Amino acid sequence: MALSKGLAGVIADQTRISSTHNAILSYAGYPINELKDAPFEEIVYLLWHGQLPSRDELAAFRFELVSQMALPYETVQLMARIAREPQHPMSILRTTVSLPGTTNDVKRDEPPRILGKMLAAIAAIIRIRNDQPIKHAHRQWGVVENFIYLFSGKRPTASEVKMLNTVMILHADHEFNASTFTARVVASTQSDYYSCLTAAVCALKGPLHGGANEQVFHMLETIHHNHQDPVEFVNQRLAAGDKIMGFGHRVYKNGDPRAVILREIAKTLARDTDNMAYFDLQEQISQVMAEKTHLHPNVDYYTALIYHCFNLDAETFTPMFAACRTAGWLAHIIEQQARGCLIRPSSEYVGQTNRHYPTGKEENAID
């Protein structure tokens, strides 16, 4: 069999959840451009059930999700201790995700309840790290409005809800990406939801996956605060063989369709929050990258500025990614567990062969 580095181009399995065929992202057959303004809850329902909900189903589903946006007292107490540790928030989230898996009601923790807990937990990590009190969801609000309130402490405007709603939809799923495939591998063993999600969080933490958005903003900060020429900065990094985070994609060779949508949101938020200096930097960097490398911005590039405009610290950008992607992770866990097939690929051994352990020699004897 031909070896494909990083499994690039390898079809590992089939899925009904999402597709990037012909570089067009779609969820259950619907192109993302047609879904970007739908309610987030409707897209979660679509990913989990393969079809859009009726009006009554959507209302009931929204109420169920919002009702679960709370954490058990014991979990909050433990989080209050670990979230203040000088560790990256993704390390805190990794431990937090596994905590509910130790409770006695794990068998009752179905996807709606788990998604609600994940959103509440990520918001709580942000609040605790900022020495702010944990907020509680309002059942008459939607999921996105509540999520913003839970991590910011302020009721968002309709415009803010609309924009983050789109961000969360665009990040909800992306077929067999690294963290999703990790979750599916664990799910194939018929392990529980929390084990699958913990593994997915571990994969998302890496700078080549979810951590890229954090690195993008660190780059923007470095250029901005040091008053550097962005063109010169990029040229120097490229000459040194360094990677410019937020550009290129294994699937989208001619540009990430999500980035096109996110660019407009980043521009609007930057204008409304007095952050146009960062957006202007992004425009200059994007132009020189296109000229020098023919690489285009990916989903992480503009998301970094968007999260900054929501007054979030760069270290919390990847947990925010996890908040969005949990919906897709759960969809893939459900699908994989229903398959009942263990994921166990083969490998090609390239080490030494025909070696034999020496026997009968004095130096191998045990006194």
Active site residue ranges? 249, 300
CA distance 106 to 93: 18
CA dist., res. 177 & res. 169, Å (int): 16
Within 8 A by CB and 6+ apart from 151, the residues are: 122, 123, 126, 127, 312
Count of C-beta atoms within a 10 Å radius of residue 131 = 7
CA dist., res. 211 & res. 39, Å (int): 26
Quote the CA–CA distance of 270 and 284 in Å, as a whole number: 15
Helix axes 178-187, 317-339, angle to 10 degrees: 40
CA distances for 124 relative to 103, 175, 178, 275, 320, angstroms: 19, 28, 26, 26, 12
First to last CA, the chain: 48
Is residue 196 a contact partner of residue 348, using CB atoms and an 8 Å limit?
no
Report the candidate in 219, 186, 194 with the shortest Cα–Cα distance to residue 286: 219
Task: Give me 197's structure tokens.
Answer: 């999600």
Residue-wise DSSP of 291-340 = HHH---B-HHHHHHHHHHHTT--GGGHHHHHHHHHHHHHHHHHHHHHHHT
Measure the CA–CA gap between 173 and 17, rounded to whole angstroms.
8
Angle among Cα 61, 192, 335 to the nearest 5 degrees reads: 60
Distance CA 277, CA 247 (A): 20
